[in-house]
Structures are given as structure tokens and as C-alpha cells.
Amino acid sequence: MSDLTLLKLGCFVASGVWVALILVLSVKYPYRKDRKILRKWFWDDLIMYTIVQSVVLGQAIGWLIKFIDNSTNLSRLRLVSDWPIWLQLIFFIVLHDLFIYFFHMAMHKNAFLWRFHEAHHSIEDVDWVGGSRSHPFEIMINQTVEFGMIVLLGGAPAVAVLKAFVSSTWGIWIHNNINVRAGWLQYVINGPEMHRWHHHPEHDHSNYATKLAIWDWLFRTAFYPKDRVADRYGLDDPSYPGGYFRQMLAFFRSQKPAQERSRQPNAG
């Protein structure tokens, strides 16, 4: 068994342990006590978004990155290949995190791009599995950039595995229902304390950061009320459907999404 295979196996096991730990802490120290683990659309999010969509899109993104590389030969330059693995990993985490901050903001500010992102914001019970609810168009753009930069700049294959592990576990972390108190770390590293407010329909124009909260503080998009509870999540749009396939088709609906309608001159 190769070292890369062992690394993948280790990350898979560690991910399972991480999910188990999050579930235990969510029950023992819940942020919202009215949340249920097996809530509405739980199995849809777990099976269709987390498992099926991830596998299918993983293959598609891999083929796309290979096509780009074969067309440009950029990876042959091996621009970061001589760097230590740990330095490559930090470099790509920070670089991608900065990209996703601005891409995330763009999806909230642009009416068309919002259609990529509204599936994610339709979560009414923010939890570890709900974080994976994202439209495939959004995932294709985000992860093609995320892993494309590793391949095209000559990053080690192990870095892609580790980066995927960090991204998945961090997504679980920022969407959990644990009553976390990170203190001063929340000003540097993003966590559920700030991100759950991003899922509040009245404050989704703030807290765009994924891993590094510093972007929100630096670009003045942070919202961090320490003495309030995020009392609701989701979209203020009763027309938005539930279920994987209906949410995929909602992207093409003729009716304007709530966020798009709010930008019209005569909107109330």
C-alpha cells in the first residue's frame, strides 16, 4: 500500500472520528436546544449532497483540471514542488481561503451568482451535514480553483489530500450546533460563532470567511454579537423548494429569487 493511499485512509478514518465527536458534543453542549439531529431533509443532505454529489463532482473536477493542465502544461513548471509539504499546505489554504472570501461575497452581491448559492442558505437547521448542501455549479467553480491551483502550480499529491481533509472537516466545524466559546481566536480563525450568523437571513451579508476570520475583520464585513442567539436560519423565500432535485432545478426557474427581487427598483 502506497504512502498516498495510507494518507487517504488515515484522513477518512480521522473524518469519521471528527463527525462522531461533533455529534457527541452537539448533544451534550447544544447551541440551540430545539435542534434535532435527524431533522427534516437530513438524509437528503447526507446521501445526495454529501455522498453522491461529492463523488460525481470529484470525478468531473479531476477531469477538468487534467484537461486544463494538459492544455497549458503549467504543472511542468513545478513552481512550488521544492517547498516542504507543510509550507505548500499553508500556502494553498491561505490562497484558496482568500479566493473563497471574495467569491462568497460575489455570490451574495450578484443576483445571478446568488442562484449558485441559495441552496446552501436554504438550510433551516445549521448542522454538520447541512454544510455540504451546495449547488453543483458552486462546487464546480470553488473546487476547480481549490485543487486546480495545487495541480497547476506543481503541488504534491499529498497536499491535495490534506487540503481536502482540512476543507471537509472545517465545513463540518463551522456548521455545527455546539455552544462554542473560542474567545480571541474568533478574531483570527473562523468558527460556528460567526458563521451561524451568516446563515441568519437578516445577517447573511456578513461573515463571508471560511477558515480565516481575519478576512472579515480586515475588510469590515464581520458581525459578531456576543450576547445574542441566532434564533433562525434559512431563506426568507417561501417559494424556494426542498429536496435535492427540486433545488437543482430551482436554479433555472423563471421566478426571481428573493435576493434578486429585492434589487428591483420597485421592491418593497
Q: What is the pLDDT of residues 215-263, one digit of tens each?
A: 999 999 999 998 888 989 999 888 899 999 999 998 888 756 555 545 4
**9-13, 101-105, 121-125, 249-253: the lowest-pLDDT one:** 249-253
Which helix (H) or strand (E) covers residue 150, if one does? helix 136-152
For 250, the grid coordinates are: 430551482
Amino acid letter for position 8: K
Across the chain, mean pLDDT equals 91
Instruction: Give the domain extent around 230.
Output: 3-261
Section 67-89 average pLDDT: 94
Burial class (CB in 10 A: 0-12, 13-18, 19+), 222: buried
Is 27 within the bounds of a domain?
A: yes
Is 267 within the bounds of a domain?
A: no
Burial class (CB in 10 A: 0-12, 13-18, 19+), 1: exposed
Section 104-125 average pLDDT: 94
Is 52 within the bounds of a domain?
A: yes
Is 121 within the bounds of a domain?
A: yes
Mention every residue, 6+ apart, whose C-beta is less than 8 A from residue 84: none
Is 268 within the bounds of a domain?
A: no
Chain Cα centroid distance, residue 224: 19
pLDDT at residue 255, rounded to an integer: 59
Residue 122 and residue 240 in contact, taking contact as beta carbons nearer than 8 Å: yes
pLDDT digits (tens, 9 = 90+) for 132-156: 999 999 999 999 999 999 999 999 9
Q: How confident is the model at residue 166 (pLDDT cuts 50, 70, 90)?
A: very high
pLDDT at residue 260, rounded to an integer: 54
> How many domains is the chain built from?
1
pLDDT at residue 268, rounded to an integer: 30
